[in-house]
Amino acid sequence: MKKLLAASWMLLAGNIVSAQHQEVSEKPDMYKGKQVQTVDTTSLLSAFKRGHVNGHFRYFFMATDNRPGLTDYYANAAGGGIRYETARFHGFQFAVSGFYTFNIGSSDLSKADTLTGQFNRYEIALFDVNDANNKKDIDRLEELYLKYSRKNVSITFGRQLLNTPFINLQDGRMRPTGVEGVWMEFNDTKKIKAAGGLLYAVSPRGTTRWYDIGESLGVYPAGVNIDGSKSGYTNNINSKAIALLGINYKVNANWQLQVWDVYTDRVFNTVMLQADLLLPQKNKQAFFGAVQVIKQDAVGNGGNADPSKTYFEKSGRSLSFGAKAGWKNTKWEAGINYNRITTHGRYLMPREWGREPFFTFLPRERNEGFGDVHAFMAKINYNMPKARVKTSLAAGYYKLPDVKDYRLNKYGLPSYTQLNADIRYAFAGILKGLEAQLLVVGKMNAGETYNNKRFEFNKVDMLQYNFVLNYHF
Q: Provide the sign of the torsion angle of the four alpha carbons 443, 449, 451, 455, taken in this order.
A: negative
The better pLDDT of the pair 318, 30 is held by: 318
Quick one: average pLDDT of 84-97?
A: 97
Cα gap 289→312, rounded to integer Å: 32
The alpha carbons of the chain give a radius of gyration, in whole angstroms, of 24
Average model confidence (pLDDT) across the chain:
92
Structure letter (DSSP) for residue 38 = P
Cα gap 66→58, rounded to integer Å: 26
Quick check: 153 and 147 in contact, CB under 8 A? Answer: no
Report strand pairing: 416-426 vs 389-399.
antiparallel
pLDDT of 77 higher than 50: yes
Cα gap 415→403, rounded to integer Å: 9
Residue in 459, 409, 417, 464 with CA at minimum distance from that of residue 438: 464
Residue 415: how many CA atoms within 13 Å on its side-chain side? 15
- pLDDT tens for residues 1-22? 444 444 444 444 444 434 333 3
Quick check: 320 and 274 in contact, CB under 8 A? Answer: no
pLDDT band at 209 (very low <50, low <70, confident <90, very high): very high
Quick check: 445 and 365 in contact, CB under 8 A? Answer: no
- pLDDT tens for residues 407-453? 999 999 999 999 999 999 999 999 999 999 999 999 999 999 999 99
- pLDDT tens for residues 311-329? 999 999 999 999 999 999 9
Quick check: 224 and 406 in contact, CB under 8 A? Answer: yes
Residue in 389, 342, 390, 385 with CA at minimum distance from that of residue 367: 342
- pLDDT tens for residues 272-304? 999 999 999 999 999 999 999 999 999 999 999
Residue in 337, 415, 336 with CA at minimum distance from that of residue 370: 415
Neighbours of 203 (CB within 10 A): 23
Neighbours of 42 (CB within 10 A): 11
- pLDDT tens for residues 328-387? 999 999 999 999 999 999 999 999 999 999 999 999 999 999 999 999 999 999 999 999
The pLDDT assigned to 171 comes to 85
Quick one: average pLDDT of 381-398?
A: 98
Cα gap 24→173, rounded to integer Å: 44
Quick one: average pLDDT of 65-72?
A: 97
pLDDT of 31 higher than 60: no
Quick check: 121 and 411 in contact, CB under 8 A? Answer: no
Residue 14's φ and ψ, nearest 5 degrees, are -65, -40
Domain boundaries, the chain: 2-20+38-472
Residue in 440, 312, 315 with CA at minimum distance from that of residue 368: 312
The pLDDT assigned to 113 comes to 97
pLDDT of 252 higher than 80: yes
The pLDDT assigned to 34 comes to 55
Please enumerate, as own/partner, the contacts of 133-137 that have beta carbons within 8 Å and a separation of 24 or more: 134/103, 135/102, 135/103, 135/106, 136/102, 136/103, 137/2, 137/208
- Cite the DSSP H helix spans in 111-218: 213-216
| pTM over cut 0.85 | yes
Q: Phi/psi class of residue 433: alpha, beta or left (left: φ > 0; alpha: ψ in -120 to 50)?
A: left
Instruction: Tell me the residue length of the chain.
Output: 473
Quick one: average pLDDT of 244-254?
A: 96
| CA 407 distance to own-chain centroid | 27
DSSP states of 216-238 as a string?
HTTSS---B-TTSSBP--TT---
Position 380, amino acid: I
Quick one: average pLDDT of 234-242?
A: 97
Hey, what's the torsion of the CAs at 149, 153, 159, 162, to 10 degrees? 130
pLDDT of 243 higher than 50: yes
pLDDT of 60 higher than 70: yes
**Three-class secondary structure of residue 395 per DSSP:** strand
The pLDDT assigned to 190 comes to 83
Residue in 204, 208, 276, 216 with CA at minimum distance from that of residue 241: 216
Segments of 7-91 assigned E as strands: 29-31, 34-36, 52-65, 73-85
The pLDDT assigned to 11 comes to 43
Fold of 2-20+38-472: Porin (2.40.160)
- pLDDT tens for residues 108-162? 999 999 999 999 999 999 999 999 999 888 999 999 999 999 999 999 999 999 9
Residue in 315, 269, 311 with CA at minimum distance from that of residue 294: 269
The pLDDT assigned to 472 comes to 97
pLDDT band at 189 (very low <50, low <70, confident <90, very high): confident
